[in-house]
Structure 1
Amino acid sequence: MKKNILLTLIILSIFIFTTHAYNLNNKDQLFINNITLKIEKIISKKGEKYRNLFINKLTKYSIKYRDTKPRYSEIFIGVAENITIEAIPKKCYLGMEVPSDLMRFSKDSPWRQKILSTQTLDSNSDAMIANLKKILTIDLKKSKAVLNPSIQKWSSPVHIIDSDNCELFDVQNENGSYHDSIDPDRDGIIKNIPIPKEIWAEPEVDGHTILIDLNKRKVREFSRFQQLSNGKYQASTAAIWDLDSKGIGKAFDGKTWYRQGVNGAGTSYFGGMITFEEMKAGKIEHVLAVSTPANRKKMSKGGAYNSELCADVATRTDGWGIGPEFILEGQKIQLNPDLDLDKIGLSENAKIIARALQEYGAYVMDNARGFNLIMQNMDSDGSGKTWIKDFSDVNLFDIPLDEFRVLSCDNVMRK
């Protein structure tokens, strides 16, 4: 409704200005050309959607004035016919605005499943949370064991692109090959990646960046991504996901299994990320992602296997802890669904995240020196200023860590 009103005002303003600037005695084609140029300037910034809206609105005006003001009618239809497809900008880089209603993979994807009321807890859930608290407060000497939103570092920007309008580059790995799914000949080169010049990577050493093509339905993820002085691009790990797939890989897959994904668990980095637009919309409808300092390598010393993971989403692990008190990478953590969010004083914005943690939970996807919630990095300088400006009241630190629990894993894989 607001968009239609805006278009009406724009068209009428342009029409009035043009008819005022050019005497009505001038040729009609002069009006048509002038109005067309002004509208095309707007379209060049807004894109094809606005072009179609303009044409529809102009056509309606033409019909409206056909009997009472035929000359106006002719001018409106003339402009509608005059707006060219060339007015639509052909851009590679489309910004960082991830549509809030963008579905994370297919309907049957683990990333989109709510936690069932029948879901059981891990038999060591209490010990796992107690161990997480101990590591945070005693080993890492933090003043308080809390969930921390990663808005400044140890996260990733998300860049929206239109591959059809991008220059293509090869991305190289100087330290070996990528996973076989994207580097089948194991030459350490991923070929023909659309990369706009405007993108940037997370400022910390992990250097994550994510490119999403909404038209092609592709998500390209990279770690330690950078452009070298010779103009070439390199990344230590990479993954390409289809938005219409489940968004998961196969655990310990192939000889290069340890190269899957761009995080410790080899999951999709975007799959559990909270985006800026989701928070503005006030609703999160997917499983979240967290990193912790208490991730498991294996249950006990010795044995016939070296590491283990929860294979709902994890494909590899960089867990280090040995013992049942450590959490598997790929395992899901849930905020107590019976916790009254009002009683603990959460802000309305914090409740958006807390409800998602109650309804969907969060997969453990990486090691970290904190209990960190993965959120879209919006600022190349690592300041977090974009988040702070609009969401400074997200007081997740008021959630007691004892209100979290670890869900059982029905698909433990070992290697």
Structure 2
Amino acid sequence: MPPRAALTVGLTLAALLCAPLGACSSGPTTTEGSGSAGAGPAPAARRTPVPQRVFAASSFWYTPLPASTPTAADSAAIVRDLRVAAVEHGRPGLPNVTLNTHDYTPPLVTTTANDPVHDVRAAPGCRLDPRVVSSLRGLRIPDDLRPAGGSDHEAALHDPATDRYTDLWRLSRGQDGTWTACGGGSIRGASRSDGVFPFPLGTTATGLPFAGGLVRAEELRRGHIDHVVGVAVPYAAPAPTHSWPAVRSDGRNPRGLSVLRQGQRLRLPADLDLDSLRLTRTARTIARAAQEFGLVVWDTSGAVSFRAENASAFTADPYPRLLGADSGWESLNGSGDGQHEPFPIDRLEVLPVDYGR
């Protein structure tokens, strides 16, 4: 059996949110693996798809890395221990690198003028910072919104009419039709935004919005990703230490490993020949993005994990066809067929703290 889905660690995030006031790349050629994955029509969204770019074109999310980037002095040690942490949650000797598609990843949903307007209130047992409460007033939420599975119940909303983007955490609809949450926030003027929530807004541990770093179903279909990809890791430098573009952290390092900071960037080397690696199509697509745009650590989880937009946003689950595997874990770890290599976590390089600031 594959390891469990990556769990987003929310305890420290809850404390942060609830505290009182005081440039496109060319698509890769189709490679072996994953059968007919990527073939066929575009996945059918239940609503108008959220644009590929929600934030300003100048945002770090959409800025390709130069061919040559500096490497942190402790890069090799961090990558070594990242693999150690990933193996803890994988099969013997095999790191658990996964892609969340149903649980612990939000649906990306476009709202319209026909959707009811709500003031999202604090869920029972949660206290929201007054700045979060203010940010979540007057929010359009579709009646048929289906938050993510798992304990985090995330959702991401884009209102093109008002240029507003919102992330929500532990979102729930009451029997009276009202909505509550344990965290979140809105970015107004999203298309002019740098793509980072101001403290203490947002849902990820870092304040980085889902829309920036999610892997889209359409990106998996076409085989290339034109933005930085968010990655969650089991351990990171203890809070409050973090790196730009993060605005906060829930990092923990109980084993004293060499670890990244929340918000720190990684990449696969520009001269790494991905065609020489026997990757599934999904793993290769994400690896190409890691090479061209890089990864950013945006959360803590029970595995090294990427997020794909939640299947609930589509009329039918698109991922069995897109992944060519039974799960995101199998799609990144070789599908268990003995013909493909796992995602090349050991080839990553760590960029310096605050790179690109």
Query: If the length of structure 2 is used for normalisation, what is the TM-score?
Result: 0.75
Q: Does 1:110 align with 2:46?
A: no
Alignment of 1:171-190 (within 5 A): 171-174=120-123, 175-178=126-129, 180=131, 182-184=132-134, 190=136
Partners of 1:402 and 1:349 lie apart in 2 by 18
CA 1:165–1:329: 2 relative to 1, 3 Å: same
Give a deviation string over 1:282-319, Cα, whole Å, max 9, x none.
Answer: 33111000101021116xxxxxxxx210122x111000
Q: Report the alpha carbon displacement of residue 170 of structure 1 after superposing the two structures with TM.
A: 1.5
- Is the alpha carbon distance of 1:385 and 1:286 closer, same or farther for their aligned partners in structure 2, counting shifts above 3 Å? same
Unaligned segments of structure 1, at least 5 residues:
1-93, 299-306
Are 1:196 and 2:142 matched, yes or no? Answer: yes
Question: What SS is found at the alignment partner of 2:286?
Answer: helix
Q: Is the 8 A contact 1:95 1:161 kept in 2?
A: no
Q: 2:236 aligns with which of 252, 276, 295?
A: 295
Aligned to 1:376: 309
Please give the alpha-carbon distance, in whole angstroms, between the structure 1 residues aligned to 2:48 and 2:214. 14
**CA separation in 1, counterparts of 2:46 and 2:312?**
12
After superposition, the Cα gap between the structure-2 partners of 1:230 and 1:178, relative to the gap in structure 1 and judged at 3 Å, is: same
Counterpart Cα distance in 2 of 1:330 and 1:410: 8
Give the corresponding residue for 2:156: 210
Over 3 Å counting, the alpha-carbon distance change for 1:370 and 1:248 in structure 2 is same
RMSD of aligned Cα (Å): 2.7
AA matched with 1:230: D
Please tell me whether the aligned partners of residues 272 and 289 of structure 1 are also in contact (alpha carbons under 8 angstroms).
yes
**1:345 matches 2:278:** yes
Task: Could you tell me which runs of 5 or more consecutive residues in structure 2 were left unpaired when the two chains were aligned.
Answer: 1-44, 334-341
Q: 2:262 aligns with which of 322, 325, 329?
A: 329
Residues 81-112 of structure 1, C-alpha deviations (whole Å, 9 max, x = no match): xxxxxxxxxxxxx835535x632411221111
Kindly report which structure 2 residues correspond to 1:70-149, keeping only aligned pairs within 5 A, or say none.
95-96=46-47, 98=49, 102-138=52-88, 140=89, 142-143=91-92, 144-149=94-99
Q: Distance in 2 between matches of 1:380 and 1:160?
A: 10
Structure 1 pair 122/179, CA: closer, same or farther in 2 (3 Å)? farther
Deviations 1:108-130 (A, max 9, x none): 21111111234211111111111
Report the TM-score when normalising by structure 1.
0.65
Distance 2:244 2:64 in 1: 17
Secondary structure of 2:353's counterpart equals coil
Identify if the C-alpha distance between structure 1 residues 387 and 106 changes in structure 2 by more than 3 Å, giving closer, same or farther.
Answer: same
CA deviation profile, 1:193-243 (whole Å, cap 9, x unmatched): 111111110011010011112333221110100001232210111121213
Q: Which amino acid aligns with 2:242?
A: L
> Quick check: which has more Rg, 1 or 2?
1
How far apart are the structure 1 equivalents of 2:57 and 2:313? 33
Taking the aligned partners of 1:329 and 1:179, their CA distance within structure 2 comes to 25
Aligned residues: 294
Structure 1 residue matching 2:242: 3-state secondary structure: strand
Identity of aligned residues (%): 21
Distance 2:48 2:282 in 1: 19
